[in-house]
Every structure is written in structure tokens, then in C-alpha cells.
Chain A
Amino acid sequence: MSKTALAFVAIETPSAISAPRGLYSWVATVDHKRIGILYLLTALVFFAAGGVEALLMRIQLARPNNTFLSPDAYDQIFTMHGTTMIFLVVMPTLIGLANYLVPLMIGARDMAFPRLNALSYWLLPCGGLLLHFSLLAGGAPAVGWFSYAPLSEPAYASTQGIDYWVLSLLILGIGSVAASINLIATILTLRAPGLTIRRLPLFVWMVFVNSFLIILALPVLNSAIVMLFIDRHLGTHFFVPSHGGSAVLWQHFFWAFGHPEVYIMALPAFGIISEVIPVFSRRPIFGYEFVAASTVAIGLLSFGIWAHHMFAVGLGRPVDLFFAASSMLIAVPTGVKIFNWSATLWGGAIRLNTAMRFAVAFLIQFTIGGLSGVTFAVVPIDWQVTGTYYLVAHFHYVLFGGTFFAVFAGLYYWFPKMTGRMLSERLGKLNFWMALIGFNTAFFVQHFLGLMGMPRRVYTYPDLPGWGLLNFISTIGAFLLGASVLVLLWNIVVSLRRGQPAGENPWQAWTLEWATTSPPPAHNFDRVPPIRSRRPLWDLAHPENPDPLVGGSTSRDEFVLDKNRVGMASFLASESAFFLMLVLAYLFYNSQPLSGPSSANTLSPLKTGIYTLCLIASSLTFWLAEKKLAAKNFFAFRRLLALTILLGTVFVLGQGLEYLHLFRAGVMVNSNLFATTFFTLTGFHGLHMCIGLVALLIVLGLSLAGDFNQGRIEAVKSVGLYWHFVDAVWLVVFSVVYLRPLL
């Protein structure tokens, strides 16, 4: 029959590279699989740290008026627990899984930028160690993971803990953004033939959307903590109310990052569940398009609901109502997903193994967490329960009972692929039940504690009726949960040595990662199966009953993208978010008359206007240069490039002169809020200009060495994008800072 004419298509690959051995090979690796495993192992170490911190807190809270931990110790521990779990455990775990699985699931050989991948990884232990170094340098930060101002300002937090926190988060943030740029470029440009966007496994799709969230949200955090750092060390007052700053602005900036961040921690987990549930229900996911569309919806909406963390701030009824409405709205796409997963389960031939158990528990627990979340959207309810243990229960239900349980499911599902051995089902059952009982015991009672009036972030509590008992129960649950993690670790250790060999596809799953050996060879695939639907391996195994064709008989998408341009465009998107926050801070503090220096009385739009023209001209010359290069006119290219560098340098010098003039007039960064926001905004722009000039010089040097003579000019185009971007940012800055007062 003609339908059986599906054959393996040989894809030419570089000759198989034998896996390097030894510890150094792990340190020097750029193989996405090894980097993924490094991420997971590092996350595990920090998980132990964060878990110990949690257990210490629970011991302190087991009885009222306990004295196990001093207040300061407790405060440092809860700050570190939050920061560690979010930035050093959940995000690396999810990025690590994505790193390992995405190239495999799309039939690629590696990520788009393997060395960038390695860099992203190494920034993780670097940042984590820097954060923990604070313990040796005067104490960990003790202001909570969201570090509200003015508590985090020098007047109230004099130890250096917060500085370590800021620096480590900057490093970690850069790592996450780099990893996401890599993932976006990989998913858009390295898919195997036949794998159109419409046929992507849902895990890959969710990681894809998630990567956009990361590149847009992390820079917002970076801008806020940079401003905090400047406050702490240069005597400025971004967030110090007594000198004109705004404590509420910190909350806005932080939560504008913080809310997308919680979806960043949820979406890949959704992706894991979307893979695990169909495989163990033995049917494709119900309503793929809806799950994919709802992911996009969540991604878009998540940027518009941050102020629901601020209902108690007194922003005003219209604002509160709008955010309440949008927060309720975001429950809809999540509900769609839960419906689809449940519908997949319904009527499927359920295989209840450990992975599936964790996945089903995820469904129930995430729904509970989601429902308690919706209660927060009802503003008057929020006014009672925010800042209490009800909130603590909510976010642990979605982050642990949700994301972490999904990670456990993914671990049991993909461990065979990563190591070639199955995890023990016996130990897995024990692991699961201990985790389930431990988790729910620990956190379900906290809903009641919150409703009874127990605030959060308290190192002790008075002996009110019921509080001691419920806290004690919660502590027992926490220890059981901790024990379950030990069981998991034991399972991993034992199975690595004596686990059942897994083979290529122990679960009879359908996505591409199962079409190669376990563990995969360094080059991932010898052969990639033909892809015409969302379940290529099903089609191969069932030629008489393949899945319906998805997206017609096309083997390629309509667009063809260059990975360097995609990478650069993603990077520029993240930079835009960063600059946007600086511009907003500038506008916020400069839309009212200020005493002291201001744009109108210290800046000269005319002089700067001339320098601006130079900058615009430099963009023009670069554009011309690119054209000459494309026409192989190397001499003209180099001349125009040199002219671009010259014009750029003139601009930077002009800015430098302006700074000098301002310093001489006594206008320093801490003079007033105009000066602070002005120097911050133009300073970062200047930094980007200098980096751009260096990049241009490198391009010039490479060109002189003959690098672009063969017509491979992607690097030039990418640098060009960066240069035009920096110029465009300057146009915005110029209009906002210099031209606005003239209006």
C-alpha cells in the first residue's frame, strides 16, 4: 500500500564524535545534553540548601514563641529560601530540562549557540556562590526575596547582604536571558525537515513562549536592582521617600518583573505535563491548538496584571479594578489548559506509573493553587488575605505542588532517556506518596492559618488558639516532604548503578527524543524519522493508522530565518525592556517641577542635537557600508565602517564633554532626582555605545583580515542591528530628556 512508503530519510551529519571522558570534559563541554545535566545537578545542590532553610524555618515555627532561631537569623533564612528556590532551583531546573530536551525534540544536533549555552550555565554557579558568599561577609540579605524599599536602602539595611543579592541576581539574570535567546534561535532555525511550527511538541512550544517572557521580564528586574544598587552606593534616592523618591515605584518595577516570573516558572512545567499525560493516557493531547493558543494568551496577559500584588498599597479604585479584571481574565487560558489535560485523561488507557502519578497530582494541586489565586483577584478578599499564610499556601501550591511535581514527573519520564536506565518504580511509588502526603500536610493547613490571621515572614507568633497546632502539623508535613526528596535521591543513585536498562523508547512515546539511543550520542541523531504530524514515532509504528497530516504536505514553514539575526533581535528585545524601565523612571521623576538642576536649566538640546545628528549619520554610513559589502566592494565597506566608528566616537566624546560640564557645575548623580535619572539613563546608553564601538572595531579588524571576503556577512548584519538599535534608543532618550521640556 502506498501508505507504507514512509521510509527513514538519512540526514547527513558530521561523523559521530565519541563522547569525551573525564571531569575536565564536563567543565569544558558545550554539548547541550551535558550542560542540561549540569544545570540539573547544580539546581539539586541549591535545592538541598533551600530545603534545609525551609526546614529550619519550620522548626522555628513549630511552636509559638519559639527561640530556636534568632529574629535576624530567621529573616536571613527566609530571604535566602525564596531567592534560592526561585533563581537557583526552579529556573535552572526548567532551563536545564529545556536545554537537554529541546534540541532532541526538534531533531537538531545541538543548540544554536553552543558556547553561549556553556556561558549561560556557568553564570549559574557563579551567581549562586556569590549570593551565598554573603553569609561569610556580614550576613545574608534579610529583606525578603522582594526586597521592598526603603527597607532595602542603606538607612535600614546596612550589611552588604543586599549588595551580594543584587550582583548575583544580575549575573543570574544575564544567564537566563542568554539561555532564552539561545532557545529562541534554536527553535526557530534548527528544526528538522518536516517539523513545522504547527507540529512542535507542546513542551517545545511552551519553552518557546516562555523564552520570550524571560527576555522581556528579567531586564525589568535588572533595571530595578541596578537602581537599588545605585541608591545604596552612590547616595541617590530612587526609592527613598524622604528625598523625593518613591517606595511604590520599587513595588511597581519589581512586580512588573515578578508577575511574569511566576509564569516563567509555570509554563515549562505545563509543557512537561503536556508531554507526560498524553503518553501515559495513550492518546494525543486533547485540543492541541487550544493549549498552544492559551500559552500565548498567558504569555501576553502576564505582563498586564502585576499590580494584583499591590492591592494593599492604596493605588486607587480604578487601578485596582482593572488589575482585578485582568487577573481574573488570566484564569481563563489556564483553565483551558486544565480542561484539555483532564479531557486527555478521560477515556484514555491510563498507565499509572510514577511519572503519571506526579502528573495527576500536579493537575489537582495546581488547580487548588490556581483557585486560591483567583480568590486573590477579588480585591476585598485580597485585602484580608494578602501578606498572610493563605498567600504562602497559594504560592507553594502552584510552585511546589504545581511546578515541582511536574518536574518530578518529567524526571521519572526522561531519566531513562538521559541515563539509559529506568528509575525504580517501587522507590518511585514511595517517593510519590511521601511527597504527596508531606506536601499537602505541610501546606494545606497554611490556608487556614492565613484565614485565622497569621501574617507571613514572621519569626514567631503568639499563642493564639489553633495556631500552634496547625503550625506543628505543617512542620511535620515539611519534614515528610524533605524525606521524600531523600528517597528520590536514593532512587537516582541506586538506579544509576542497577536500574533496568531503558532502551530507545521505554514508554512507547512519540516525540523525536525517543528516536535515538538512551542516552543519545554526542551528535544526537543518526537518522531523523520523517515528520508529518505531531507524533512522528506513532506514524512510524502505525503506518496503517497514522495521525492526520498537520499543516498540509509542507515540510517547511513559510519563513526562513538566520539564527544570528534571530539571536540579535531577541537580545535587542531584552535591551529594549531594560531601557524602557530607565526611561519610565526618568519620566516618573521628571514630569513634575524639581528643585535644583533639571533638563531645562542644565542641558543644551542644540549641542546635543548636533551630536545626535552625527549619530544618525553613523547609522546611515553603516547601512551604506552593508550595501557595499553585499556588492563585494570591500574597500568602500571599510571606509564607510571607519567613518561610522568615527561618527560614533564623536558622539561619545560629545556626551563625555557634557558630563564634564555638568560635573564642573556641581551636578552629580546624587544631586537630585533629575540628575540621578539623567545620569543613569544616559550612562547606560553610553555604555552600550562604547560596547557598540568596540564591536565595530572588531568587525573592522576582521574585515582587514579578510574574514568577510567569502560572502558570509551575518556577523556584520547582526552588529549592524545592534548599532541601529543603540541609535534608535538614543533618539528616544533625546526626545524624552532634551526635547520634552521644549514642548
Chain B
Amino acid sequence: MLVILWLFALTVRGMQESDSPADQDSDLVVIGHQWWWEVRYPQTGVVSANEIHIPISSKWRVRLESTDVIHDFWVPQLARKIQMIPGQPNYIWLEADASGNYDGSCAEYCGEEHARMRFAVIAESPAAYAAWLSEQEKPAIVPVTDSARNGLKIFQTMTCVNCHSIRGVSVSANAAPDLTHMASRATLGAGVLSNTEANLFLWLKNPQAAKPGCFMPDLKLTDAQAGALASYLETLQ
């Protein structure tokens, strides 16, 4: 019984330290989708996907939601696990003491590609964070090379705009990750492939081969089309 009382006291203490915050505005909003993470910074309007940047030693309030099924936001080294429940926002604290790249994953079975719904939290010095943020706030870079301009045309004319947004080009959709600065991210497909032009080409040619079951259809792009599109997207730093 004594052991239990001691454990219970520890429990209370632990919960108090990490308790969900009172009603105030959030610094970060993460919305779970089937098999990717929508990341929003409400104070600046920046929208990203699958990669979260935070300044170190800053206690941020994060709001977690879901648009479809129950997911679970878990970055083991930085915060507790919390479910993302459609219709019921949850709140946690997120704070990193040291800069680094912290892996996170979805921790509630959410369908076929639950295993590959990963994200990263990149904690950096306030200066580096501010620099990153200011880059992200800018709209998408206008393409310069021919190949890239071709790619932009393909993006606008094929059905891409129905799901993806690029600020400065088309912002009506958010069924799929925001691509405004997609080249600045380290991975594709929520941690499935590393973000290189070659991998992006493979992804565009056949997303189902890379992440079977994901909701991006195979658009039957020719090699030329995929190449142009990839070269355009990789300019979006």
C-alpha cells in the first residue's frame, strides 16, 4: 500500500508538471490526416506539413485535431503522447531544451499507412528559427528555368490543385500537404523517402509504389511530365 501511495504521489506531481494548459491561443496547430501531418502556425499564417520547427527553450502550446480518424501525436523525446480526435481538440505543451532533430510518429492505429506516418520536430536557436520562419512566410518562388515553368503549368492543369496548395499559385485545397516550401523539408510522404529530385520523380510517377494505400492517385504522368514537375517542386525552398 505504501508503494502505491508513493507511486500515486509521483503520478500527481508528474501530471501537474505536464498538465494541459488553460484556455489561451495556441502557438502551433497540428492536424492529423490519414497518413500525414498538417502543421499550422496560427500567429503568422505559415502552413507546412510533416516537419515542425520550434525555437529552443520556448514552451509552446500545441493544439491537436484530426480531420478523419483518431491519430496520436508522439515525439518521445519532447512531449507526452496525446490522441488527435476528430471533433475534440486536445492541447499539450511542447518544449525542447537543446537543439536537434527529434523524430516523431503516429501512435494510434489509423489505417493502412499508420506505420509510415512520421514527422520530425526540429528545434533550433531563436535566430535560426526566426530565419526559417521568415522564409516560410514568403509565397512560393516564381520558377525561372524552362523545365520548372513547365512543371508549374503541369501543376496548374493536372488535378494537383484539387488537393495541394501552393501560396502564390493556388490556395483552395488542403486535402493534401501544402507544397509552398516543400523543397525545404527533409522527407517526402511523411517520412517515407528522403527529399531528393530523384525520389520525388519516383513518387510522382507512382505514389502507390512508395506508400501503398495513400490517397494520392497515380496520375499516369509521362517521364517528361514527372521530371518537369519534380524540377519545379524542388525549387520551392
- Do A and B contact each other directly (Cβ–Cβ < 8 Å)? yes
Determine how close the nearest CB of chain A comes to the CB of B114; give it in whole angstroms: 6
In the complex the two chains form, is B14's CB within 8 Å of A379's CB?
Answer: yes
**Cα separation A378 to B14 with both chains bound (whole Å):** 9
- Contact mask A358-387 → B, CB, 8 Å, 1/0? 000000000000000010011111011011
Chain A residues contacting B90 (CB-CB under 8 Å) are 313-314
One of A314, A331, A460 near B116 (C-beta < 8 A): A460
- Residues facing B in A118-176 (CB within 8 A) are 142-144, 148, 150-151, 155-156
- Contact mask B97-128 → A, CB, 8 Å, 1/0? 00000010111111111111010000000000
Q: Is B212 an interface residue (CB 8 A)?
A: yes
Chain A residues contacting B69 (CB-CB under 8 Å) are 148, 150-151, 156
Determine how close the nearest CB of chain B comes to the CB of A411; give it in whole angstroms: 34
**Cα separation A142 to B118 with both chains bound (whole Å):** 21
Chain A residues contacting B1 (CB-CB under 8 Å) are 332
In the complex the two chains form, is B114's CB within 8 Å of A462's CB?
Answer: no
In the complex the two chains form, is A325's CB within 8 Å of B8's CB?
Answer: yes
Known: A156-B68, A247-B87, A379-B11. A455 touches B74 (CB 8 A): yes
In the complex the two chains form, is A321's CB within 8 Å of B12's CB?
Answer: yes
In the complex, which residue of chain A has the Cβ closest to the Cβ of B90? A314
**Cα separation A520 to B78 with both chains bound (whole Å):** 63
**Cα separation A320 to B12 with both chains bound (whole Å):** 10
Known: A151-B69, A247-B85. A458 touches B114 (CB 8 A): yes
Known: A156-B69, A320-B15. A387 touches B108 (CB 8 A): yes
Chain B residues contacting A388 (CB-CB under 8 Å) are 107
In the complex the two chains form, is B108's CB within 8 Å of A246's CB?
Answer: no
In the complex the two chains form, is B15's CB within 8 Å of A321's CB?
Answer: yes
Residue from the set A248, A377, A383, A464 with the largest chain B CB neighbour count within 10 Å: A383
Known: A379-B14, A387-B72, A455-B107. A247 touches B118 (CB 8 A): no
Q: Is B221 an interface residue (CB 8 A)?
A: no
Q: Is B76 an interface residue (CB 8 A)?
A: yes
Q: Is A589 an interface residue (CB 8 A)?
A: no
Q: Is A562 an interface residue (CB 8 A)?
A: no
**Cα separation A374 to B6 with both chains bound (whole Å):** 12
Stretch at the interface among A68-76, A417-425, A729-737: A68-76
Known: A148-B69, A151-B69, A462-B191. A324 touches B81 (CB 8 A): no
Chain A residues contacting B86 (CB-CB under 8 Å) are 150, 241-242, 247
- Residues facing A in B1-39 (CB within 8 A) are 1, 4, 7-8, 10-12, 14-15, 17-20, 34
Chain B residues contacting A332 (CB-CB under 8 Å) are 1, 4
**Cα separation A460 to B192 with both chains bound (whole Å):** 11
Q: Is A717 an interface residue (CB 8 A)?
A: no
**Cα separation A460 to B211 with both chains bound (whole Å):** 12
Q: Is B48 an interface residue (CB 8 A)?
A: no
One of B19, B68, B213 near A72 (C-beta < 8 A): B213
Known: A242-B86, A242-B87. A71 touches B7 (CB 8 A): no
Q: Is A312 an interface residue (CB 8 A)?
A: yes
Known: A72-B213, A148-B108. A317 touches B19 (CB 8 A): yes
**Cα separation A459 to B116 with both chains bound (whole Å):** 9
- Contact mask A189-201 → B, CB, 8 Å, 1/0? 0000000000000
Q: Is A433 an interface residue (CB 8 A)?
A: no
Q: Is B80 an interface residue (CB 8 A)?
A: yes
Known: A331-B4, A380-B11. A151 touches B80 (CB 8 A): no
**Cα separation A346 to B16 with both chains bound (whole Å):** 43
Known: A313-B83, A329-B4. A455 touches B70 (CB 8 A): no
In the complex the two chains form, is B81's CB within 8 Å of A386's CB?
Answer: yes
Chain B residues contacting A328 (CB-CB under 8 Å) are 4, 7-8
**Cα separation A241 to B68 with both chains bound (whole Å):** 9
One of A242, A378, A459 near B11 (C-beta < 8 A): A378
Chain B residues contacting A155 (CB-CB under 8 Å) are 68
Q: Is B88 an interface residue (CB 8 A)?
A: yes
**Cα separation A324 to B4 with both chains bound (whole Å):** 10
In the complex, which residue of chain A has the Cβ closest to the Cβ of B104? A453
In the complex the two chains form, is A151's CB within 8 Å of B112's CB?
Answer: no
Determine how close the nearest CB of chain B comes to the CB of A374; give it in whole angstroms: 7
Chain A residues contacting B34 (CB-CB under 8 Å) are 156
Chain B residues contacting A387 (CB-CB under 8 Å) are 72, 74, 81, 107-108
Determine how close the nearest CB of chain B comes to the CB of A122; give it in whole angstroms: 33
In the complex the two chains form, is A312's CB within 8 Å of B72's CB?
Answer: yes
Residue from the set A312, A377, A386 with the largest chain B CB neighbour count within 10 Å: A312
One of A314, A321, A380, A456 near B18 (C-beta < 8 A): A380
- Contact mask A428-454 → B, CB, 8 Å, 1/0? 000000000000000000000000010
Q: Is B236 an interface residue (CB 8 A)?
A: no
In the complex the two chains form, is B106's CB within 8 Å of A455's CB?
Answer: yes
One of B14, B68, B113 near A71 (C-beta < 8 A): B113
**Cα separation A247 to B70 with both chains bound (whole Å):** 8
Chain B residues contacting A313 (CB-CB under 8 Å) are 83, 85, 90
Chain A residues contacting B68 (CB-CB under 8 Å) are 150, 155-156
Determine how close the nearest CB of chain A comes to the CB of B46; give it in whole angstroms: 26
**Cα separation A179 to B115 with both chains bound (whole Å):** 40
Chain B residues contacting A148 (CB-CB under 8 Å) are 69-70, 108-109
Chain A residues contacting B108 (CB-CB under 8 Å) are 148, 312, 387
Determine how close the nearest CB of chain B comes to the CB of A537; give it in whole angstroms: 38
Determine how close the nearest CB of chain A comes to the CB of B75; give it in whole angstroms: 9
Q: Is A457 an interface residue (CB 8 A)?
A: yes
Chain B residues contacting A679 (CB-CB under 8 Å) are none
Q: Is B82 an interface residue (CB 8 A)?
A: yes
Chain A residues contacting B82 (CB-CB under 8 Å) are 312, 314, 383
In the complex the two chains form, is B83's CB within 8 Å of A461's CB?
Answer: no
Chain A residues contacting B7 (CB-CB under 8 Å) are 328, 374, 377-378
Which 8 pairs show the lowest CB-CB distances between chains A and B?
A241-B87, A380-B14, A458-B115, A383-B80, A314-B90, A457-B109, A387-B107, A241-B86
Task: List 22 A-B residue pairs with CB atoms under 8 Å apart, sorted by A's residue number.
Answer: A71-B113, A142-B112, A148-B69, A151-B111, A312-B81, A312-B83, A313-B83, A314-B85, A328-B8, A331-B4, A380-B14, A381-B14, A383-B81, A384-B80, A384-B81, A386-B81, A386-B107, A455-B106, A455-B107, A458-B115, A460-B115, A462-B191
Q: Which residues of A contact B (CB under 8 A)?
A: 70-72, 75, 142-144, 148, 150-151, 155-156, 241-242, 246-248, 312-314, 317, 320-321, 324-325, 328-329, 331-332, 374, 377-381, 383-384, 386-388, 453, 455-462, 464
